Amino acid sequence: MTLKKDLSHRIGLIDEIRGFAILCMVVYHAVYDAVSLFSVSIPAFQSPLMGLIRDIFAFGFIFISGASSRFSHSNLKRGAICFGIGIGMTIFTILFMKDQLIAFGILHCLGICMMAYPLFAKLLDKIPAPIGAALLAFLFILTCQISSGHLGIEGLLSFDLPDAPYQLGWLFPFGFPSNTFYSADYYPLLPWLFAFLLGSYFGRWLKNGNPPDWIRKTHLQPLAFIGRHTLWIYVLHQPVVYLTMSGIAYLLR
């Protein structure tokens, strides 16, 4: 007899959004590999608009991960696994792909956010959701350029930060990279922790607010399936993409 996993408690929309976000990341990384590793000319990839699109999808992925924290049986365990895989990717890139080093990527960030979430949960629950969500959104916007050396939005209202924290060299996980720091995939805790915690408010509403059936319902099973396995897709897609492109490049020689 085959045992089927009970999916009745899942929110279909969360799985589908997560699945869509991870597919967008796969496409982005495929284009990145084509440009960076195989010298394919794609001028649009270097445009600021592409960077904005990348960050929008990353925000959606981290936001939904924060929402999912409300449904996890153990955020500590989930975060430790995620962070451990991130460290594994760091070691792999150090040994085999130094020019594509991932010092603190999205898995590192998500892993720490998940493990830290229980520390914030009780405090967040004491704050009315509209106020807490508005505060977190403000903090995200305030710190979204912190790795570039200032608070706020460049060109609108920004404040330069002192050089001291950036010169220490070890504060890069918090958004203070030194001049020599490099990470092909870089998602520091500031501002992304605020996006994660903001998502947890959405997750609280999904869990306790009796959302409409169209949110609970799964509309696209393949997309929802992808959304339930994003971690392994994220880990495995890069070697698959690289090997595929290497094969194509070999055939076109």
Average pLDDT in the chain: 88
In this structure, which amino acid lies at residue 214? W
**What is the 3 state secondary structure string of 92-145?**
HHHHHCHHHCCCECHHHHHHHHHHHHHHHHHHHHHCCHHHHHHHHHHHHHHHCC
Residues sharing a CB contact under 8 Å with residue 113, sequence separation 6 or more, in sequence order: 62, 65, 66, 79, 189, 192, 193, 196, 197
Q: Is the pLDDT of residue 100 over 90?
A: no
Distance CA 92, CA 101 (A): 9
Q: Is the confidence at residue 240, as pLDDT, over 50?
A: yes
> Alpha-carbon distance 234 to 225, whole Å?
14
Domain ranges of the chain: 12-248
Q: Which residues, 6+ apart, have CB-to-CB distance to 132 below 8 Å?
A: 124, 201
**C-alpha–C-alpha distance, residues 120 and 66, integer Å:** 12
Residue type, 219: H
The CA–CA distances, whole Å, from 188 to 95, 105, 171 equal: 23, 8, 9
pLDDT in tens, 68-87: 999 888 999 999 999 999 99
Q: Is 159 exposed, middle or buried (0-12, 13-18, 19+ CB in 10 A)?
A: exposed
Q: How confident is the model at residue 5 (pLDDT cuts 50, 70, 90)?
A: very low
Higher pLDDT, 232 or 173: 173
What's the rounded Cα separation, in Å, for the pair 189 and 192?
Answer: 5
Q: Is the pLDDT of residue 248 over 90?
A: no
CA distance 127 to 140: 17
pLDDT (mean) for 186-194: 96
Share of the chain above pLDDT 70, in %: 96
**The one-letter amino acid at 2:** T
pLDDT score recorded for residue 9: 64
Q: In one letter, which amino acid is 169?
A: G
Residue range 151-167: mean pLDDT, rounded: 86
Measured CA to CA, the distance from residue 38 to residue 25 in angstroms comes to 18
What is the reported pTM?
0.87
pLDDT in tens, 128-148: 999 999 999 999 999 999 999
pLDDT for the residue numbered 63: 95
